[in-house]
Amino acid sequence: MGMVGGGEGAFIGAVHRMAAALDGEIELVCGAFSADADRSTRSGAALHLPAERVYGDYQAMMVAEAALPAEQRMQFVAIVTPNHLHFPVAEAALRAGFHVMSDKPATFNLAEALQLRELVQETGLLYGLTHTYTGYPLVKEARERIQSGELGRIRRVVVEYPQGWLADRQEDEDNKQAAWRLDPARAGVSSCMGDIGVHAANLAEYVTGQKIIELCADLSAFVEGRELDDDGSILLRFDGGAKGILFASQLCVGEENALNIRVYGDKGGLEWHQQEPNTLWLKWADRPAEMLRTGAGYLGPLAAANTRTPGGHPEGYLEAFANLYMAFAGLVRAREKGVAPDERAADCPGIEEAVRGMTFIELAVAASASDTKWHVFDQH
Amino acid sequence: MGMVGGGEGAFIGAVHRMAAALDGEIELVCGAFSADADRSTRSGAALHLPAERVYGDYQAMMVAEAALPAEQRMQFVAIVTPNHLHFPVAEAALRAGFHVMSDKPATFNLAEALQLRELVQETGLLYGLTHTYTGYPLVKEARERIQSGELGRIRRVVVEYPQGWLADRQEDEDNKQAAWRLDPARAGVSSCMGDIGVHAANLAEYVTGQKIIELCADLSAFVEGRELDDDGSILLRFDGGAKGILFASQLCVGEENALNIRVYGDKGGLEWHQQEPNTLWLKWADRPAEMLRTGAGYLGPLAAANTRTPGGHPEGYLEAFANLYMAFAGLVRAREKGVAPDERAADCPGIEEAVRGMTFIELAVAASASDTKWHVFDQH
Amino acid sequence: MGMVGGGEGAFIGAVHRMAAALDGEIELVCGAFSADADRSTRSGAALHLPAERVYGDYQAMMVAEAALPAEQRMQFVAIVTPNHLHFPVAEAALRAGFHVMSDKPATFNLAEALQLRELVQETGLLYGLTHTYTGYPLVKEARERIQSGELGRIRRVVVEYPQGWLADRQEDEDNKQAAWRLDPARAGVSSCMGDIGVHAANLAEYVTGQKIIELCADLSAFVEGRELDDDGSILLRFDGGAKGILFASQLCVGEENALNIRVYGDKGGLEWHQQEPNTLWLKWADRPAEMLRTGAGYLGPLAAANTRTPGGHPEGYLEAFANLYMAFAGLVRAREKGVAPDERAADCPGIEEAVRGMTFIELAVAASASDTKWHVFDQH
Amino acid sequence: MGMVGGGEGAFIGAVHRMAAALDGEIELVCGAFSADADRSTRSGAALHLPAERVYGDYQAMMVAEAALPAEQRMQFVAIVTPNHLHFPVAEAALRAGFHVMSDKPATFNLAEALQLRELVQETGLLYGLTHTYTGYPLVKEARERIQSGELGRIRRVVVEYPQGWLADRQEDEDNKQAAWRLDPARAGVSSCMGDIGVHAANLAEYVTGQKIIELCADLSAFVEGRELDDDGSILLRFDGGAKGILFASQLCVGEENALNIRVYGDKGGLEWHQQEPNTLWLKWADRPAEMLRTGAGYLGPLAAANTRTPGGHPEGYLEAFANLYMAFAGLVRAREKGVAPDERAADCPGIEEAVRGMTFIELAVAASASDTKWHVFDQH
């Protein structure tokens, strides 16, 4: 793979590289790691890449790689830039004939996401989106338990994603991660919902198998001087009849990355916490709650296929991330062999999640600004 | 004390009796335990009461007890009937000159609560309301930590109260507890918000020291055939600038009585779970989260005054309940001695909580039925 | 009941009184609360006892109460003094014809315990011993699950009881609780094993239904100047073939009262923690661990009979203690009626536990001092 | 690196490869993956290795690699065979001039370990041993907190390692992992202590900074027909005056890989659980327990250097394993540059841990068989 973004000091670029490397199936062969050519060069060298495969900008990379013999060139592009560049880079890659694996949110705004979908359909190329948290084996198990009907008809969803790192003006303190996320020119219309709320919404839809159809939102920018939301609560209604709440915040002091989900059907409930990802709770009316654990023999095949170590050897965020890369690699391989992707590969989030995510972000912001209670979630 | 309600088979009456008995300061001396005189008699006998102090109805009890010499008669009435009788019994007691300790919700509707407040003010008698969960020592500690400013300016509240016991039609199955709670004639306009949501709202106000000023609600009756809500989500705004979500449900299969609260200020956060009530979390931006424990020496005086055993000897629901009774007994004693109540007694929930609780219930129901997003919480 | 010990400032006396009062079935009618007659008088007054039933010493109390008409006199004596008085008070009570409910350890040494057993057999009176922790409903459930064979043949026991309160020389700081526990003249041959290790040993035998037959011990007095152990580790062997470790300590800084037990059979395992007593874990080879909860419908009849509130309304230490009192009251009632005690009453720890406890304490101390590895536990 | 062992179906070989690959600093360049040459070839091909670097046996690999130009040949050998081959492979590698990174236990018996140490000293080559659990950032933090004196003088250690997977005769069921671990010819004198007890002992020494000087052991082979222990309890004494218990078992049904440690000094205590490795508890006498979390800013430099993601993005077993590889890679790099290793590299377990581990295993087995209580741990 080739990488765009992720130069020295970037967080998510390194995560993508570790995730891609973990299973020994994906090799980083080139990159345009920074818009600053020197920084890109230094980054490439630190990654042991040959100088000629380290590019000063992504446009040059697409051209040069496309010109290489098929067996040498990169097979897909990983996009790990700030949000406003996701679309232009993806567009360039697709137009140059490369599959795309993109960090989320997919684009700067919904219009771009819709354009991107057209482009993906037009080129017939593959597009993956790193909604990381659906990469955890027990999130997959949760989804399968609900699909199997074990929990009955789903009624109630509680999904939440509190963080605390933006509780004060980090963006003034030379914190790059904070600065771009709170800058409308680079992040888009939302900070909290764009950065983390969208993960929560995606998780809720993935696990329940239901789509959001309506929402009512109350977003805030609690910290003075912020143009974008740093906290928000959203009431949700789903197409299968479930109702829910989604709560995301960047100012819950002391919280790290506490993405949690609870789902209740008429026969049972489940609960999962990202910070203890190797435990999934199933809850029942007339018998004890059960604690399912990653790596256990009683889990379904999809969870098993996404697990690397035996029970009790904890897997974490990088393993979940690597699962997305393995799924995407599976898609690429299946495409090359002209066969249907296997179950694990088919489970990779893609362009539909991209469009839904951007729809969610824009609708949440609009709904919060409105006096109207309910807002329809457009099923583009 | 005398008791109205709580005959054989009733749950909450026994709880009140154990709570009142625990500290050896309050003696049950009489009761009208059931509208069915035989049942009342049997219940009184089982409680080792002399037959002449067991009454067939509460009106008779008020008359007879008032006629006794002061040193023999009951000093206050504990009301543990279904909701629709709370007000008439309280009214009768107050008019007969007795202080009242009432189960919640205080009355059948807001109009009664306002009337009750007038009556309390008019008679000058004492009125206590068993918002049990504020009786836990660590809930009191949480309140004090916020009052002291340790957490900074409060921004974000998450309070939730999921239960699962009404996930199917228990009301058809000879489950008395279920039957009256879902019957508009006995429970009032709400089941879920009236029975448990009101506890959550009270807890949020107690802990934060802020008052709800606006809300947006989405209640449901998921189980077919129900006239009253069995689930609901509410967006909250508080007078101190905080925002919050309140979620209560009676159909979260597998949940028992999971009242939980999280509060975040600009300096710190806290978290408390009713089912593990002896732990209170304080969370900080730049240092480790702290786990406070009931009975520890570092807790404040109010928590200490409401604790009976050393750390590690878990206290529970009955002890919290007993704390309310001890507070109320303190109010009664202070009144008798003509002195100001001490801090512990002053902490007893009373008529203002009664009015706010009924306001909350009615507003939640009305707001849910409305297309308007925000509804003003009337500060009666 | 009448009480010996437990005057002003005593911890365990108040606990016994609350436990006895909780269910409204046992009334404190007299007491000799302190060897200091004034202190006894003040304590009795604070407890609302009539002056004539408050005695200056326990000998006087036995005489006076025995002289009262049967329907007025106390029915049994609760002994809550320091260890060295347990036996003389019990002896006096039994000789005066009163049943005895004693705090643990039963006596000052094993010789006294054996004497006490003879006396109990001779008088035919009832003797209860407050091994509190076996009063928890889920401890009873644990025992029943093992008895039923659900966990298979038991192989491995891990029982531990760390506390931290004696990590420094509290006994110098006017801490009465510390002072007598570390004084050989009042506590006996052991502090840590006598105060808490004996609870752990009792819990292990109660839950597994197996008896300790051999042990190997390493006790310490870590804090300088102490004559008695403040920490110890013991290897255990049981008559059913299980092996185990028992670890108890009074100097595990930061630990409160962390009595925990884990038991593993060839089919399943279980785990229980006193500080979260409403949860019992069952663990299985090929299916998820199950979390059993106090108050749940799936528990056995003994757990149910020892539970006061519905699931999710946490019960604690006082409720467990009250369960012992209810069991003992049941024994007394059955005796009076001349019937066999019911299952709940039959579950009360008594004179056999007294003898085993004293055997354990003395053997642990002797074994620790010895170079011999294994020491036989005398099955008196 | 080159690898010996770890062909198709092996567990630990894949773990080593993922751990080595994670950071993009170590490349697998060759291997002798199985004593079965065909299997080795297939395994190498599946790992995308060129056929000429996949060897039929480890002897051939040493010869062929040593013959390659320095810049092409492997820089070190990773040994992931069953125990009995650890020494011969390590010996061959060292004699051929290659550094060695070995799975644990280091050798088949103590004699080999002592020989190995001589060889390492003689060749001056590097030797690393994968005591994985010391690779966790919070284990390093724990060690540093104790070294800094924050917990005071250490008195009490509790280390335990229960697993449940060998509770029945898995070795009969074509379970390779079980078969060699219970076979004296391949595993050595111990199963439970050799496979997991040795990790627990290493962890206790690493965290406390104290060395075991004496022990008393009770090992068992509970499952019929086993020649090696599947369970054991050990009393420990340390050179700094601490006492402890070590408990390890392979038949605790329902336990996965529950390596846990608690350490108490006279000022504070700490607790860590491998299955929730991103939390470290610090416990105090007079203030609340603190929950430290991986990735937090308040951790020391060694923890920080061994962490890849921000707080709340859980790291697991593979990351801990990768930390050992990064440390070893740091040793190799420092050696090549002729500089002193940095703090992270210096933290790599090596030949001293190898000798201590084998001493522990043999002493535990001998002590268990002996009637003598205490056995001296030879400080070779």
CB contact under 8 A, A290 and C290: yes
Query: What residues contact C368, with CB distance under 8 A and at least 6 apart?
Result: C217, C218, C219, C229, C232
CB contact under 8 A, A289 and B254: yes
Query: How far does C319 lie from chain B, in Å, by closest CA?
Result: 9
Please give the ipTM for the structure prediction.
0.96
Q: What is the dihedral of CA C85, C86, C90, C91, to 10 degrees?
A: -50
Give the per-residue pLDDT at C261.
98
Give the per-residue pLDDT at A180.
86
> How far is residue C259's CA from residue C275's CA, in Å, rounded to a whole number?
7
State mean pLDDT over C174-198. Answer: 91
Kindly list the structural domains of chain B, giving each domain's residue range(s) and its CATH number in brackets, ordered by start: 2-129 (3.40.50.720), 137-310+354-369 (3.30.360.10)
Residue in B with minimal Cα distance to D292: B288
Residue in D with minimal Cα distance to C235: D233
CB contact under 8 A, C18 and B11: no
| Among the listed residues B130, B66, B115, B117, the one whose alpha carbon sits nearest the alpha carbon of residue B93 | B66
Q: What is the dihedral of CA B130, B135, B141, B142, to 10 degrees?
A: -50
- Asked if the model's pLDDT at residue A38 lies above 80, the reply is yes
pLDDT tens across the length of chain B (380 residues)? 999 999 987 789 999 999 999 999 999 999 999 989 999 999 999 999 999 999 999 999 999 999 999 999 999 999 999 889 999 999 999 999 999 999 999 999 999 999 999 999 999 999 999 999 999 999 999 999 999 999 999 999 999 999 999 999 888 877 888 888 899 998 899 999 999 999 999 999 999 999 999 999 999 999 999 999 999 999 999 999 999 999 999 999 999 999 999 999 999 999 999 999 999 999 999 999 999 999 999 999 999 999 999 999 999 999 999 999 999 999 999 999 999 999 999 999 999 999 999 999 999 999 999 999 999 999 98
C-beta separation of D367 from C235 below 8 A: no
Chain A to chain C, count of Cβ pairs less than 8 Å apart? 32
C-beta separation of D6 from A24 below 8 A: no
Give the per-residue pLDDT at A109.
96
CB contact under 8 A, A291 and C292: no
Q: Report cis status (omega within 30 of 0) of the bond before B105.
A: yes
**What's B372's DSSP letter?**
B
Coil/strand/helix, residue B289: strand
Residue keyed to tokens 């009632």? C333
C-beta separation of B377 from B212 below 8 A: yes
Phi, psi torsion values for D271, nearest 5 degrees? -150, 135
> How far is residue B309's CA from residue C177's CA, in Å, rounded to a whole number?
13
Give the per-residue pLDDT at B239.
97
C-beta separation of A246 from A200 below 8 A: yes
Report which of residues D171 and A290 the model is more confident about. A290
Give the per-residue pLDDT at C268.
98
Q: How would residue D60 be classed by pLDDT, with cut points 50, 70 and 90?
A: very high
pLDDT in tens, A190-225: 999 999 999 999 999 999 999 999 999 999 999 999
- Asked if the model's pLDDT at residue C170 lies above 90, the reply is no
| Among the listed residues A81, A84, A112, the one whose alpha carbon sits nearest the alpha carbon of residue A4 | A81
pLDDT in tens, A293-305: 999 999 999 999 9
CB contact under 8 A, A17 and D28: no
Residues of D in contact with C284 (CB under 8 A): 253-254
Tokens representing residue A277 in the block: 């990802």
Q: What sign does the CA torsion over B139, B143, B149, B155 have? A: positive
Give the per-residue pLDDT at B3.
98
Neighboring chains of A (3 or more beta-carbon pairs < 8 A): B, C, D
- Asked if the model's pLDDT at residue C173 lies above 80, the reply is no
pLDDT in tens, A311-332: 999 999 999 999 999 999 999 9
Q: How would residue A173 be classed by pLDDT, with cut points 50, 70 and 90?
A: confident
- For chain D, what is the mean pLDDT? 96
The answer to which of A107-121, A149-163, C175-189 has the lowest mean pLDDT is C175-189
- Asked if the model's pLDDT at residue D258 lies above 80, the reply is yes
Query: What residues contact A218, with CB distance under 8 A and at least 6 apart?
Result: A232, A233, A234, A368, B216, B235, B243
User: In chain C, which among 258-297 make CB contacts under 8 A with chain D?
Assistant: 262, 264-269, 282-285, 289
Coil/strand/helix, residue D233: strand
CB contact under 8 A, B156 and A249: yes
State mean pLDDT over A337-361. Answer: 96
> How far is residue B309's CA from residue C319's CA, in Å, rounded to a whole number?
12
A146-to-A210, A282, A306, C342, D75 alpha-carbon distances in Å:
10, 11, 18, 45, 50
C-beta separation of C277 from C203 below 8 A: no
Dmax (CA) for chain A in angstroms is 65
Instruction: Looking at A47-136, list the stretches that DSSP marks H as alpha helix, in order from N- to C-terminal side.
Output: 58-67, 86-95, 110-123
D39-to-B188, D44, D177 alpha-carbon distances in Å:
75, 9, 18
Residue type, B133: Y
Give the per-residue pLDDT at A177.
83
Q: How far is CA B145 from the centre of its chain?
A: 22
Q: How would residue A56 be classed by pLDDT, with cut points 50, 70 and 90?
A: very high
The strand pair at D243-249 and D231-238 is best described as: antiparallel
The answer to which of A90-104, A233-247, C172-186, D244-258 has the lowest mean pLDDT is C172-186
| Among the listed residues C105, C77, C76, C63, the one whose alpha carbon sits nearest the alpha carbon of residue C5 | C77
Q: How would residue A174 be classed by pLDDT, with cut points 50, 70 and 90?
A: confident
pLDDT in tens, A125-148: 999 999 999 999 999 999 999 999
Residues of D in contact with B289 (CB under 8 A): 290-291, 293
- Cα D366-D367-D368 angle, rounded to 5 deg: 90
| Among the listed residues B279, B314, B254, the one whose alpha carbon sits nearest the alpha carbon of residue A265 | B254
Probe site for chain B from A159, A287, A373, A375 (most B CB atoms < 10 A): A373
- Asked if the model's pLDDT at residue C46 lies above 90, the reply is yes
Which of B222, B233, B254 is the closest to A284 by Cβ? Answer: B254
Phi, psi torsion values for A128, nearest 5 degrees? -120, 150
Residues of C in contact with D372 (CB under 8 A): 371, 373
CB contact under 8 A, B167 and A266: yes
- Asked if the model's pLDDT at residue D175 lies above 90, the reply is no
Query: How far does C285 lie from chain D, in Å, by closest CA?
Result: 5
Give the per-residue pLDDT at A142.
98
Residue type, D160: E
> How far is residue A248's CA from residue A215's CA, in Å, rounded to a whole number?
14
Q: How would residue D325 be classed by pLDDT, with cut points 50, 70 and 90?
A: very high
Beta bridge partners, D232, equal: D219, D248
> How far is residue C29's CA from residue B24's CA, in Å, rounded to a whole number?
12
pTM reported for the whole predicted model: 0.97
Give the per-residue pLDDT at D167.
95
Give the per-residue pLDDT at C315.
98
Q: What is the dihedral of CA B42, B45, B46, B49, to 10 degrees?
A: 140
State mean pLDDT over A21-48. Answer: 94
Give the per-residue pLDDT at B172.
83
Q: How far is CA D114 from the centre of its chain?
A: 18
pLDDT in tens, C84-123: 999 999 999 999 999 999 999 999 999 999 999 999 999 9
C-beta separation of D179 from D83 below 8 A: no
Probe site for chain A from D133, D290, D318, D321 (most A CB atoms < 10 A): D318
Give the per-residue pLDDT at D172.
83
CA-based R_g, chain A, Å: 20
pLDDT in tens, C264-313: 999 999 999 999 999 999 999 999 999 999 999 999 999 999 999 999 99
